[in-house]
Structure formats: structure tokens, C-alpha cells
Amino acid sequence: MSPEEIKVLVKDVPDFPKPGIVFKDITPLLSNAAAFAAITELLGMRAKAHDADAILAIESRGFIFGAALAYRLKLPMYLVRKRGKLPRETVSVEYDLEYGTDHIEVHADAVEKGRRYLVVDDVIATGGTAAAVAQLVAAQGGKLAACLFVLELKYLNGRHRLDGHNVECLMGF
């Protein structure tokens, strides 16, 4: 399947999670075996060009695509989660939201100095979470090989928060 064929499977859900928001529902991509296989293949082809050592998958839908990609590329995958969700020692970074701040974290042994990481998530919207992961990788001495996303909400211009980094998206809205 091509990205154009996959794109038509994404469903708009008006007024979710709150009035005025049009949510892009990716669950049809997961329930369509051919689409999910194609997404994994397309992400894998893009990932290979960046010669990464490991994957950092962002909570929670990024875990789905990150795990499939890790399996395909035979790379280790580490979880990036909201504060307080990981059981061992962590490193975290605080980042700005539209109204306030939040934290993300990884296990302290996940990011190693000099290693190259792919950041994987389902959607890039404002780019805040991915930029926070990039900051966390840099603070631990790692290198950001690329950020890979299935969807990009272009009208939110989240890519600009990742200036200077490789950003790959399979399809844009």
C-alpha cells in the first residue's frame, strides 16, 4: 500500500477530546493488516538511512510503531513515558505545553553517550514532546539520528521545534 492509500484510512473524529478539536484516529491503520505492514515497511526504509543504534518510542501509540520497527530493524527499543510510569531509576526533562508544563522520562540506562537514536511516534502535532525527547537525548550525550512519525499535522508546524534534526513523516494533513 502507498502512503496515499493508507492516508484514506485515517478517520476524522470531530470534537474529540474536546469541542473544536478534530482528532485523527489511527486505529483503522492498526486494524488493517496490509496498512500496518506497509507502515512498518515504509518507516523501516526511512529509518535505515539514519543508521541508528536504538529506538526511543514515545508513549503510548509510539510504542506500537516503535516495537514493530525495532523488530524489523533488529534494534533495541526504549520507552519514553510520562513522569512516574517507569519502575527503575529515570532521567527526565520538563517541557512546555500550551497551558503549563509536563515531564517525560526514560530509564537512566536507556540513552548512552555517543549512541544514535531514532525517536518514533504516531503523530507530530506541535512537536513539543519530540523536542523534549531530543533535549533528553542530548543531555545524556546521545545523538538524535532522526524522528519518525506516521502522521504530521502540518498546520500546527511542529516540525519547526525540531529544527536541525532529521524529521521523517509518512503522510501529512
Q: Helix, strand, or coil here: 26?
A: coil
Active site residue 98: yes
Instruction: Return d(Cα 67, Cα 51) in angstroms, integer.
Output: 17
Residues 167 and 149: beta-carbon distance below 8 Å: yes
From 46, 59, 61, 72, the catalytic residue: 61
Active site residue 81: no
Q: Characterize the bridge pairing of strands 116-124 and 54-58.
A: parallel
Instruction: Return d(Cα 97, Cα 116) in angstroms, integer.
Output: 27
Instruction: Return d(Cα 55, Cα 132) in angstroms, integer.
Output: 15
Measured in residues, the chain has a length of 173
Annotated catalytic residues are 61, 98
